[in-house]
Chains A and B, each alone.
Chain A
Amino acid sequence: MHLAYPAVLAVLLFCVGLYGVLARRNAILVLMSVELMLNAVNLNLVAFDVWLRDALHAGQALTLFTIAIAAAEIGIGLAIVLMVYRNRGTSDVDRLRDTAEGHGPDDGDHDAPEEAAAPAHTTEAAA
């Protein structure tokens, strides 16, 4: 197989994931796009490993490790997203503007219903 096929596919997947990271508003959608990028990298690794016929199969080993780390990362990431959602009432990346000039936490971030947050707290506590 021409090496270009998996390589180009990996590139295209990567760029699609890149678009998603930069364009999506919901934090979970961003995490999904990050998964796409990681998968593109994995495909590249596997393709080159097979092409090179590496005795150590470093590419495949790294792919396995990447998959494991991606799983760990998505766990932590989701925990963070959930905490942000609990504190701010929203998981929109747009609203997380603490590093902006002249902004503090929760400046103008109270569009998302705080009343929704309160029942969310009680449901969380109940759950």
Chain B
Amino acid sequence: MTLGPPVTLAATAPQGFLSPTGVEIAFLLVGMATLGAAVITVTTKQLVHAALWLVVALGGLAVEYLLLTAEFIAWVQVLIYVGSVVVLLLFGLMLTKAPIGRSPDADSGNRWVALAVAIASAGALVWVVVDAFRTQWIDLDGAAQGSTEVTGTILFRHWVLPFEALSVLLLAALVGAIVLSRKNGDAETAEAAGTPTSATDKEQR
């Protein structure tokens, strides 16, 4: 599909760094909260708490989307991520008998290397990004860029084929998940049925 006519950038009227708009302040505060929640998610020793702090992080991101005028995406984020993904994660924690309360071995031995890698990559990426977009501003004053109307239009006008392909992918994932869990389940039921009968056989002999 084509990308349309070359876009025009927002007005680059230089805005001072020392006069942030309200949006920016809000963005910053929510961003800090999101980041804090994310950090707690990856460092806490209580597994269930990690999932709950993830909710906070994802919710914070939804607010950020709102601030960036991408409403539809914000609600989709809440619906799917917070609504189903986190719930799935919680189910997974429950089914794998994750310990309630502190678990001493939540972090592997790899964590120092991981920390180093994360810090190094953070440093490198932040520096590059800041250096690249030092003088770029987003213009939020115009029409909402992510309203439902806009999103629906582009989805069903320009991105139909990927949309349909996505549905096929979702179907495949669904079937796959069922197959994965069914195979094991069938074997389990057969075994469970088998053991009582063999036990009765032994009694009869």
User: What residues make up the interface of A, taking CB atoms closer than 8 Å to B?
Assistant: 1-9, 11-26, 28-29, 31-33, 35-36, 39, 42-43, 46-47, 49-58, 60-61, 63-65, 67-76, 78-83, 85-86, 91-94, 116, 120-122, 124-126
Contacts and interface: CB of A to CB of B under 8 A. Distances in A.
A16 B53 CA distance: 13
- The A contact surface, by secondary structure, is helix
Nearest to A47: B68
A81 B42 contact: no
B107 A81 contact: no
Contacts of B126: 8, 11-12
A55 B4 contact: yes
Contacts of A93: 108
Interface of B: 1-5, 7-10, 15, 17, 20-21, 23-24, 27-28, 31, 34-35, 38-39, 41-42, 47, 50-51, 54, 57-58, 61, 64-65, 68-70, 72-73, 76-77, 80-81, 84-85, 88-89, 91-93, 95-98, 103, 105-111, 113-115, 117-119, 121-122, 125-126, 129-130, 133-134, 136-140, 142, 145-146, 150-151, 154-155, 158-159, 162-163, 166, 169-170, 173-174, 176-177, 180-181, 184-185, 188-189, 191-192
Nearest to A35: B85
Contacts of B163: 65
Contacts of A51: 9-10, 136-139
7 A-B pairs with least C-beta separation: A22-B114, A20-B42, A72-B173, A19-B118, A15-B122, A23-B111, A23-B114
A127 to B, nearest CB: 9
